[in-house]
Structure formats: structure tokens, C-alpha cells
Amino acid sequence: MGILEFLKGAARQVVTGGKAYKAWVAVLVGMMVIGLVGYANQWQGGLIATNMRDQVTWAFYIGNFTFLVGVAAAAVLLVVPAYVYHWKPIKEVVVLGELLAISALTMCLTFILVDMGRPDRLTHIMPGPGNPNWPDSMLSWDALVLNLYLMLNLVVVVHILYRAYRGQDYAKWFVVPLVLFSIPAAVGIHTVTAFLYAGMAARPYWNAGILAPKFIASAFCSGPAVMIILFQILRKTTAIEIKDEAIQKVAELMAYAMFFNLFLLGAEIFKEYYSHTEHLLYTQYLWQGIGTHKALVPYAWFSLACSVTAFLIFVTPAGRKNWTTLNIGAVLIFSGVYIEKGMGLVIPGMTPDTLGEIYEYQPSATEWMVAVGVFGMGGLVFTTLVNVAVPIMMGTLRAKGASTVPMGAEATH
Amino acid sequence: MSQHDRLPIVQDAAEGCEAAAPPSRRDFLRTAAAGAVIAAVSGCKPDAVVEELQRRHLTELSKDRLQEMLGKLEKKWSAEYGKDVKVGLRPPMPGVNFAYGLDLSRCIGCRRCVYACVKENNQSRKNPQIQWIRVLQMDKERGVSLEHATPYYNPEKVPEPGHFYMPVQCQQCRHPPCTKVCPVKATWKEPDGIVVIDYDWCIGCRCCTAACPYGARKFNWAEPKLPAAEMNPVTDYLGNRPRPMGVVEKCTFCLQRTRTGRYPACVEICPVGARKFGNLLDPESEIRQVMDRKRVFVFKEELATEPQFYYFYAT
């Protein structure tokens, strides 16, 4: 009975909003329409609508997937201090971090789906109707942990919001163990995704032990970068209060993460260039190009420049306390990691291919359209969830007769 | 067999479960509902989608179900290609472990093997063009070096001075990296050494193409184009039968031929006798003769895939 009422209230709230909210939702829906048009084309004619071929069999879609797993994993960055160390200012925004994880995971799973040659056979990977290849296949593990992590975040967020909606505090015995579990789970989803690549001896560029730590380090840069921007937008456009202190703390953590990420990158580059084996080719393709094949080179250097500049901004207290430089830094980190972990990871892994052929990949129009659609969908998921969550947290959206004390205030009793 | 072609969903489900537990109403409703949703999204015929959802892994199918499935495919393709298409599912022969030998000093790079393979194995001719054998032209000066190899050589006459040729196809590894990464067990190694793919179970994720060190696995990026006149009607379910769009395929040592004692098409066509084939467990076989008298090596031995495909220099 209570749940039904909660769902009805939430559904009403999804379509409730000012002009700006409705315009933003319209933009996101428009993006999804573009994506659907692109996908319809791909569905009809097959993946030949992309620029992937037998030489480069994974590309833009899988690159986006990998990047977004990092964004989803970074929700843990807020969970750790908020729940383990009881840092008051961050606790208020944990729910938002988890909502971001939910929307990032939705996008991850969709990017895998659009990359599949036979999405109609999706059930084959599910235990029960299908035949998942455990424990051998990293992709079957990845499908499992991503879905588990999605469930975990959904359960925690829905519970907290449902209780708040009824004017109650969340059940500690229920939430705390789940949240503690979500910390290794977040590291887990990204590690398994790294192992998907690192386990392939056929691709020397990926076949390195450093890959999983590097994934984690860069995830702790890109995820929080999104959140820093979102938090500022949210406190301007909604009633929610996010203290400067919380944003500063996140920025500081990002500086350390970026340092570690750049250090690991340097270690890899040294190893490749100094030992100068036949495996150098892939690194060379990314940073220098091979002969006339230089498609990725400008992106690689642009990405490095973004990451280094952002690191310098975030590591100086003055840089992260100034809102302009902080925001520039967040955008730079996002762009840097997006290139590094998307195209910069996937394409050099497959160029040259296993028989030495160089096929220069660039995304096709269809791939761009589908990607725009998936990001539109993720944006819509996040926007509507936030639009429901914020008034509940603020005490303005409550069950009839429930207490209207804001969530944060209750927690500080 | 043929009357089962368009069985309605309910009968189909009941039949498949005769030996096992009866299908519950709930199971049926769940599958039907899921089918309807997918059909609505995809614009497919609901029948086809529900059938796809009801499909089980090959190893879970009873003999009767297998026969029924093969019969349906025979009927479908016979109608589509206008000839009497046979779809077998020949098991590996006991006491047989196949291996292949390729004499690099004889190969002249004429690519007759490539085209014989395409013909025998019903590969898509164009858009997408699929070829299971890739012949690499290499510089004699550099030896086997992929960095200096190219499959795109088109002189009037082969071999060209200063070059030698190295055909590459599925190496039927003893430790196949491709089967390990498959998330749905759609590909596996058979007791006779051949790595096979169930094209009707493959989800097209392309983990195997990423994992294969030999570029042996090819993806159907579009609906395969197989002209009816050129279609080879003698097929095997795990071998050369027509493939659907969106799945991976590769060399199977022509299992539809070799499991009945014949040579693979590429061995038969080779004009210089560079290709050898046989049963490793038979001391008199051609491949054992090669291994006894010549010195063989395997491609990318450092990856420990242990191919059942050996290269050698006979002269």
C-alpha cells in the first residue's frame, strides 16, 4: 500500500517541473530520438553501419562503456567518506552520487547491448535461460557484477528515499551493510572490466597488470569531475544545499587520483619505449602514429594536456577554491579521461591487428547517433531521478501526514 | 520432420519437455511475454522471437530435438537456395586428433586455397566479404615479421622475387583463448581437435575475435550474401551451413569433409602441395610423416596457445 503510494507520488513528480526542467527533458528526449534513428539503421543492416571491421572489432561503443563503468564506480568516492568516516557535509550528497551511478550503469549496459551482433539473444548470457561461461569468461562476470552493482545502488537509494518520503530515517541495519558492500563492489566492477582487456594475450597493449590499477585511478578522476559540475548545477536549480566544503573535498581527492593516474601512464610509456620490443607499436600508434597512420595522435596529446593541466589546477588549493578554475579543471579531467579510456584504450589495442594490418578506425555517423542517444537516455534517467529525489530529501515531497523535516536535518539529530 | 516447420509455440514447448518436467504455465507466460516485448521493440515476427527465446544450448538438446532442429533448417534452406540442402551434425570420430601442416617453402601465394575455402564453406561473397584464410606476403630479408607483412598484394604473377607467403587460418589451438572468453559457451573445442562455433547461440559480442591471436575469427557485419547458384548444399551444423547476420565464424578444418574421411578443400586445391593434413594419432598419416621427417614450428609460440597447425620448411 505504502509502496504503491510512493511510486505514484514519484511518478507524478517525474512530470512536475519548471520550464527549464521541461526544456532540458525535451533536449534529452530529442537525443534519444537521434539514437533510435541511428540504431534502427544498425538493426536493419547490421553492424556494418558502424566503422568497426574484423581488424578493429571493438571501438567507440566499447570505449564509452569502459569510460562509464569508471563513472559508475566513482560513486564509491562519496560513499567511503560519507558512511565510513561520517563526514557530515558529504553525507547529504551520497544519494546523488548513487543516482549518478545508476544512470551511468544504465548507459554501460546499453552500450554493450548496441555493440552486440545479436541483441535478440541477450538471454543466452543469463543464468537460467542461458548458459553463462563461468568462471572462464570475463564478460559473463562483467554482466553479473554490473547488474548486481546496479541493483545494489537501486535498493539503497529507493530505501532511503522511501523512508524519507514517509518521514522516517533509513534503517541503519539494512543500509550500512549494503553500503559497505558497495565499496568492494564498485572496485569490483571496474577491476572485472579491466580484466576483460588485460586477460587477452593476443593484444599486448592491454595485456598488462597495470591496467586494473590504472582503471581505478582514472575512474576516481572522471566520476567526481561529473559530480562536481552536477552539484553546482543542482544547488542553483533545486532547493538542495551542497556545502562548498563537500565539493572542495572531492576536488582534493581527484588531485591525488590524477597524480596516480599520470604516474601509471608514465610507467607504462617508459617500459614500452625503453625496452623497445615489437609491442611498442601500439603505444607508438597512439602517441606518434605509424607511418602515415596518425588518426589518434592529436587526441592522445590533447588528452594528456587536459589531464596535466587539470592536475596542476586541482593540486593547488587556490586552483580548486576558485570556482572558475575548478570548473575548467573538472571539464579538462573529464575530457582527458574520456579520450584516454575510450578511444585511447580500445583502438590502439587493436591497431595494428593481430596479423599486423593497420586499419584506421573513426566512428561512423551511425555510431555517433547511437552514442548521443545513449547519453541522452542516461541524462534522462539521472534528471528524472534527481527531480524525484531532491524534493523528498528536502521534505517538500512527502506522504500525507508524514514529517516534513529535511533528510539531512534528521540525520544530525 | 518437415511437418514441424511452423509449429505453434505451445506444442513446441510441450514436445521439447516430454522427457523432462512438463512446462509450467508460468514459464510459458514469461517466455511469451518477453517474446512479445522484444518483438514489439525489434519489429520481428513474434513466432521467430519466441522460438529464439525457447532455444536451449546445443548440449542441452535431446537427440529428437536436434533432429527436429536440423530438419527445420534443411527445409528452410532448401527452399531458400532452391536445392536439396543437407544439414548434418557429424560427431568427432573416435581415435582421431586432426592436425595441419603448411610448407612455407612451397607456398607461392596464389590464394587458390582462399577461394576454394570460400566456395566449400559458403562464406559471404561481398559486403561483407568473408575469407577464413588470410595469405600474408612477407619479405625474405626479414623472415616472419608481421610488421612487414601484407595481405594486399596483387601482382600479375606469384611468387614475386624477394617475397615468401604465409597463409594463416584458425590454428585449432590446444589452449584456445577464444573459447575461454566466450560469455555464453557458444564456441568450444571438440575431441578431434576442432574448435567449433554454434552460430545459432553466438551473441556477437566479439570477445573471441579480440582474443584470437591469429585473426582467424570473422564477424558477419551484415547479412551474408551467398548466391543460390554457388551455395554448397552438403553442410554441417557446426561447419559450413549458412550463417546468420551478427555472428562469428571461422575455419573448422572443413569438418563436414574431414569427419567423413576427406581432405579439407584448401588441401585438395593447393597446386604445389604445400598443405598437409591428417590424424595425429595415426603413425602413417601425412601429418605424422611431416612431423617425423621435417622440423615444424607453430605461429606465436610465445602465447602458449599450442596450435594444431604446424608450419615447416620442407626444403
- The C-alpha atoms of residue A78 and residue A90 are separated, in whole angstroms, by 7
Could you tell me if B118 lies within 8 Å of chain A, comparing CB atoms? no
- Count how many residues are written for chain A: 413
Of A255, A253, A288, A256, the residue nearest A269 (C-alpha): A288
Per-residue pLDDT, A84? 62
Distance separating alpha carbons of residues A406 and A404, to the nearest angstrom: 6
Beta-ladder partners of B197: B187
> In A124-243, which residue ranges form alpha helices assigned H by DSSP?
138-165, 172-198, 211-237
pLDDT at A172: 87
Quote the pLDDT of residue B11. Answer: 29
Q: What are phi and psi of A337, to 5 degrees?
A: -75, -35
What is the pLDDT averaged over residues B139-166? 95
Determine the CATH number of domain B82-315.
3.30.70.20
Report phi then psi at B234, rounded to 5.
-90, 100
Q: Give the largest Cα separation in chain B, rounded.
A: 71
Alpha-carbon gap, residue A78 to A94, rounded angstroms: 6
> Does the pLDDT value for residue B200 go beyond 70?
yes
Predicted confidence at residue B27, as pLDDT, reads 47
Domain limits, chain A? 2-394
**Domain ranges within chain B, ordered by starting residue:** 2-81, 82-315
pLDDT computed for residue B37 by the predictor: 52
> Which of A124, A138, A347 should we substitute to test contact with B (largest number of B Cβ atoms within 10 Å)?
A124
DSSP 8-class letter at A29:
H
Specify the fold of A2-394: Formate dehydrogenase/DMSO reductase fold (1.20.1630)
Distance from CA of A386 to the nearest CA of B (A): 28
- Three cell numbers at B22? 512438463
In order of A53, A221, A335, B242, B264, the CA distances from B222 in angstroms are 11, 38, 33, 13, 27
Considering only the beta carbons, identify the residue of A196, A350, A355 that sits closest to B146. A355
Query: From CA A124, how far away is CA B135, in angstroms rounded?
Result: 35
Cβ-defined contact of A46 to B221 (cutoff 8 Å): yes
Confidence at residue A411, expressed as pLDDT on a 0 to 100 scale: 45
Please give the grid coordinates belonging to residue B166: 604465409
Cα separation, A141 vs B170, whole angstroms? 27
For residue A201, give every residue at least 6 positions away whose Cβ sits within 8 Å of its Cβ, in sequence order, or none. A207, B177, B213, B303
pLDDT tens string B203-233: 999 999 999 999 999 999 999 999 999 999 9
Give the mean pLDDT of B7-33.
39
Residue B195 contacts residue B181 (beta carbons within 8 Å): no
Q: What residues of A are in contact with residue B57 (Cβ under 8 Å)? A: 124, 130-131
Place of cell 577464413: B132
Query: Do A271 and A282 form a contact (C-beta atoms < 8 A)?
Result: no
| Cβ–Cβ contact B49 with A under 8 A | yes
CA–CA separation, B272 and B269 (whole Å): 9
Each residue of A278-296: pLDDT tens digit?
Answer: 999 999 999 999 999 999 9
- Select from A214, A222, A219 the least CA-distant residue to A333: A222
Whether residue B159 is preceded by a cis peptide bond, meaning omega within 30 degrees of 0, is yes
Cα separation, A57 vs B206, in Å, equals: 7
Terminal Cα-to-Cα distance of chain A (whole angstroms): 29
Band of residue B9 on the pLDDT scale cut at 50, 70, 90: very low
What one-character-per-residue DSSP string does B35-97 give? Answer: HHHHHHHHT--HHHHHHHHH---GGG--HHHHHHHHHHHHHHHHHHHTS--EEE-PPPPTT--
In this prediction, residue B280 has a pLDDT band, given cuts at 50, 70 and 90, of: very high
Report the SS3 class of residue B297. strand
Range 55-84 of A in CB contact (< 8 A) with B = 55, 57-58
β-partners of residue B166 are: B136
Taking chain A (413 residues) in runs of 10, the rounded mean pLDDT of each run is: 85 90 96 98 97 97 97 78 63 80 96 97 92 95 95 93 89 88 90 97 97 94 89 82 81 92 97 96 97 96 97 94 96 96 96 97 97 98 93 86 72 41
DSSP H/E element including B31: helix B25-42
Contacts of B38 in chain A (CB under 8 A): 120
Cα distances (angstroms) measured from residue B20 to each of B14, B55, B201, B220: 10, 15, 22, 36
Alpha-carbon dihedral B59, B61, B65, B67, rounded to 10 degrees: 10
Chain B residues in contact with A355 (beta carbon < 8 A) = 134, 136, 146, 149, 151, 168, 214-215
Give yes or no for a contact between A80 and A138, defined as CB atoms under 8 angstroms apart: no
Q: Are A125 and B303 a contacting pair at CB < 8 A?
A: no
> What is the interface pTM, i.e. ipTM, of the complex?
0.93
- Cα(A1)–Cα(B109) distance, integer angstroms: 75
Q: Taking residues B226-241, report their average pLDDT.
A: 97
Q: Residue A128: what pLDDT?
A: 87
Q: What is the pLDDT of residue B22?
A: 39
Record: contact A136-B181, CB cut-off 8 A = yes
Q: Tell me how far the alpha carbon of residue B76 is from its chain's centroid.
A: 20
Residue A135: cis peptide before it, omega within 30 degrees of 0: yes
Output the pLDDT for position A236. 87
**Residue showing cell 548521443:** A372
Q: What is the pLDDT of residues B163-196, one digit of tens each?
A: 999 999 999 999 999 999 999 999 999 999 999 9
B201 to A121: CB separation less than 8 angstroms, yes or no: yes
Note whether B225 and B124 are within 8 A (CB): yes
Residue B299, SS3 per DSSP? coil
> What cell was used for A311?
592536475
**Cα separation, A76 vs A216, whole angstroms:** 11
User: pLDDT at position B34, please?
Assistant: 52
